[in-house]
Every structure is written in C-alpha cells, then in structure tokens.
C-alpha cells in the first residue's frame, strides 16, 4: 500500500508574496502598516545580531510594561487622526490627572474613585475640545493646543513639586509584576495589570473601529465629512465622541503610568502627544484622515519603545539620537503615506 504525502514546493514563498502583492494592490492603505511590521522585525533581528539577548522573555516583558501607557495614547490618537483631526492635549491631561490623582489618593480617597476621577478629568478635557471643534468651528490644532496649556497650567497650580504615591496605595497594584513564565535565571515573562488593561483597550478599540457603526462613521468623517452628513451619519456626535475617547484614554494612561512609577509631576507627559502621534503615523494612520489601524498604532508604539532599548543597549549612541531617528522614521512614513494617497487618488 502506497502512502501519499504532501511535500512543500518551492512555489509556496512565491505564492505568499503574490498574495501580499494582491492585498496591497486591493488596499494600498495597508502598505505603511506592513512597513512598520517589517521595520519592527528588522530592528529585532539587528538587535539580536548586534547586541544579543533581544529575543527573550524579559526584553518582551520590559517592552510591554514600559510602553503600556504609550500604547493607550497611540490608540487614542488613532481615533482622532482617522477623522482628520489632531489632539495635542494628551500629554498635559496626563500631567493634570496624575498629579490630581496622587493628591486625592494620599488624601484618603477610595482607590477606585481616584481612578474614575483621573479618567473622568481626561474625558472632561475631551468634551471641551470636541465642543469647540464641532460646534464653534475651532481648528483641532488650536482647540487642543488651548487644552494643552490649560492642563499644564492646572497641573502646575496643583503642585510644582513631585507628588509621591503612598507605598501601600492599592493603585500601585496596577504596576505590580506578575510572573507568567518562569524562565532560566532572570529571563522570566512577566506582565502587569497595566499591560492587561492596555491589551483590553486595544481589543475594544479594534472592535469599535472595525465592527460598529460608530467606527464606520469615524472613517467616513475622515474620508469626507460632507458626504457623511449627506448619508445621515451622526457626524456631530461622533466628532465630539472621538475627543472624549482621546481624553479618557489619556486619563487612563495617566493611571497606568502613575501606578508603575509611583510619582506624579506637573512636567510629566511633555512631548508625549508627539510620541503618540508618531506611533500612530508609523503604524499606518494617515494624517489626512480616513485610513488607519489600531493594531498598526500598537506596532508603531513598540517600534519607538524598541528603538529606545537598542540605543540603551548600544551605550555609545547619545540619548538625543532617539529624537533624530524618530524624526527620520516619521518622515519616511509621511512620504510613504503621501505616495499611497496619490495612488488612491
């Protein structure tokens, strides 16, 4: 009796490349996202060859733990940028929410009430930005710039010195490390409740953007707001909603960061709005709106985090190079996005 077994053919890699080409041809907007995945993989390979000990549990653990707040911010900016807007206030929201939250926690407030207050404060900033943009026709850049100065000023009004969260505060549990895999020596896979929360945010945001009417309205607004209005979509409500989501997620990011660091300052979050925008753009979210993916923004945040890891491992590269390299990568992706939008036009 003869047994026939299937053997892999040399055509399988070619078939895979052909499928990728067809996918890109059918939807060119995925090209920047695919490019970000390729860059991330290339950085991992380079880091492993050049420095070693990159592809291991503790590196992955640190990458996720240290960038959980950035992942949440990148998701927040994805919603806003897809509509063709921008939000410059998220860094200042983090400063205000973290300082206020630590002061409330140290004053004896219930930890859950503190967390709700921090997220609610961010949502309140988002409401103001959304109302200014939608009902008073203020440009998103100007409206959120005003909220940025307001948030930073309020944080400085509360305190100009570092506020430290009590060591026994239950909020710190969100930053506590939980061992998932016990590896050899210190090579353990660990996560924190904050990482789990960030993962839940990503999953919920993915569902909302790709499986709900609200998500379809967000994309429609970015494509053509007038067309969305003519189709009877709730444009006004959705435009306000995306800024509320952005503000609330910034407040949540403040919770995650404060729980991990244990300290809040009025200077916390300076420049983080630019990091979040960069993460979203590197992940394939087009600045002109209508195109973007939550999972792509997550990859963009991890690219920025891994870049910091590689520069730290090298030791000979000054920390200032992080900003220069980020700017170079961002420029490449903006040019790539421009090429994609031209092809679609």
Q: Report the CATH number that the domain containing residue 267 is assigned in CATH.
A: 1.10.3470
Q: Which helix (H) or strand (E) holds 264?
A: strand 263-264
Closest-CA residue to 225 (of 161, 308, 167, 290) = 290
Tens of pLDDT, residue by residue over 282-314, are 888 888 888 888 999 999 999 999 988 888 887
Report pTM.
0.90
| C-alpha dihedral, 336 to 341 to 343 to 345, nearest 10° | -160
- State phi, psi for 286 to the nearest 5 degrees: -85, 130
Collapsed DSSP state (helix, strand, coil) of residue 201: helix
In a domain, 275, yes or no: yes
What is the residue range of 274's domain? 33-340
In a domain, 258, yes or no: yes
In a domain, 1, yes or no: no
In a domain, 70, yes or no: yes
The stretches of the chain forming alpha helices (DSSP H) are: 11-26, 31-50, 57-66, 68-82, 90-106, 111-135, 140-158, 193-211, 213-223, 225-230, 235-261, 272-282, 294-314, 321-344
- If one compares 323 and 8, the residue with the highest pLDDT of the two is 323
- State phi, psi for 107 to the nearest 5 degrees: -85, -5
pLDDT band at 183; cut points 50, 70, 90: confident
Taking residue 230's Cβ as centre, other Cβ atoms within 10 Å add up to 10
Inter-residue contact 40 to 54 (CB < 8 Å): no
What percent of the chain clears pLDDT 70, i.e. is strictly above it?
89
Tens of pLDDT, residue by residue over 84-112, are 999 999 999 999 999 999 999 999 999 99
| C-alpha dihedral, 54 to 268 to 329 to 202, nearest 10° | 70
Distance CA 85, CA 218 (A): 11
**Total domain count, the chain:** 1
pLDDT band at 12; cut points 50, 70, 90: low
- pLDDT value of position 14: 63
In a domain, 217, yes or no: yes
In a domain, 69, yes or no: yes
In a domain, 17, yes or no: no
In a domain, 23, yes or no: no
Mean pLDDT of the chain: 88
Tens of pLDDT, residue by residue over 18-60, are 666 665 565 656 777 788 888 899 889 988 898 888 888 888 8
């Amino acid at each position: 009796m003869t047994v026939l077994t299937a053997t892999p053919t040399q055509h399988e890699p070619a078939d895979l490349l052909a499928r990728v080409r067809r996918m890109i041809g059918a939807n060119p907007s995925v090209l920047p996202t695919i490019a970000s995945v390729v860059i991330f993989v290339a950085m991992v390979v380079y880091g492993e060859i050049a420095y070693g000990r990159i592809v291991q549990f503790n590196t992955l653990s640190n990458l996720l733990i240290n960038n959980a707040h950035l992942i949440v911010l990148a998701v927040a900016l994805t919603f806003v940028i897809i509509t063709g807007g921008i939000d410059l206030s998220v860094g200042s929201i983090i400063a205000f929410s973290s300082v206020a939250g630590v002061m409330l926690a140290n004053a004896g407030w219930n930890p859950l009430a503190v967390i709700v207050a921090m997220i609610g404060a961010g949502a309140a900033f988002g409401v103001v930005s959304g109302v200014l943009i939608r009902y008073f026709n203020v440009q998103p850049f100007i409206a959120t710039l005003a909220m940025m100065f307001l948030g930073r000023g309020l944080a400085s009004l509360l305190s100009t010195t570092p506020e430290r969260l009590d060591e026994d505060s239950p909020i710190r549990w969100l930053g506590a490390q939980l061992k998932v895999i016990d590896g050899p020596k210190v090579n353990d896979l660990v996560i924190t409740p904050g990482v789990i929360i960030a993962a839940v945010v990503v999953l919920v945001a993915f569902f909302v953007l790709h499986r709900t009417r609200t998500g379809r309205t967000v994309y429609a607004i970015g494509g053509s707001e007038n067309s969305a209005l003519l189709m009877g979509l709730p444009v006004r409500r959705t435009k306000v909603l995306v800024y509320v989501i952005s503000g609330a997620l910034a407040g949540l990011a403040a919770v995650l960061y404060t729980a991990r660091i244990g300290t809040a300052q009025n200077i916390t979050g300076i420049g983080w709005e630019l990091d979040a925008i960069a993460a979203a753009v590197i992940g394939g979210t087009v600045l002109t709106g209508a195109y973007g993916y939550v999972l792509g923004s997550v990859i963009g945040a991890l690219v920025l985090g891994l870049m910091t890891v590689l520069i730290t491992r090298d030791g000979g590269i000054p920390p200032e190079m992080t900003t220069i390299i980020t700017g170079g990568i961002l420029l490449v992706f903006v040019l790539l996005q421009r090429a994609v939008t031209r092809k679609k036009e």
